[in-house]
Amino acid sequence: MSWIDLGPVTDIPVRGARTLKTALGCVAVFRTAEDEVFALTDRCPHKGGPLSEGIVHGQSVTCPLHNWVFDLNTGVAKGEDATVETFAVRVEAGRVLIDASRLAGRSAA
């Protein structure tokens, strides 16, 4: 894997997100109350809502438009037949790293 340093984990608000803009669309990088970090496509498949503006609770995020709840581990919408793409992230020495190879292989759809 090839990793990109996104900066300090403290730059992401607790129970919030920051957005990473890529040539193929935005990725939301989330931080939970337990300082876990996850990354998902920043677009709800239902109505295109920005997941980065959703409410983070536990290891889930709720879409701000229509309340669909996505598992931050898998990208699966709870109770719905929908999934958003996930990206490998890790925290190392207090810094957030994301797998660049997954970003490069991402589909534009």
Concatenated DSSP letters for 42-69? SS-TTT---GGGSEEETTEEE-TTT--E
- CATH number, domain of 14, equals 2.102.10.10
- Rg over alpha carbons for the chain, rounded to the nearest Å, is 13
Domain-located, residue 109: no
Domain-located, residue 88: yes
In a structure prediction context, what are the per-residue pLDDT tens digits for the chain, which is 109 residues long?
A: 789 999 999 999 999 999 999 877 899 999 999 999 999 999 999 988 999 999 999 999 999 999 999 999 999 999 999 999 999 999 999 999 999 886 765 544 4
Domain-located, residue 37: yes
Range of the domain at 36: 3-104
Question: How far, in Å, CA of 77 to CA of 53, rounded?
Answer: 16
In contact, 88 and 98? CB cutoff 8 Å: yes
Domain-located, residue 27: yes
- Based on the structure, what is the number of domains in the chain? 1
Give residue 26's region: left, alpha or beta (phi > 0; psi -120 to 50): beta
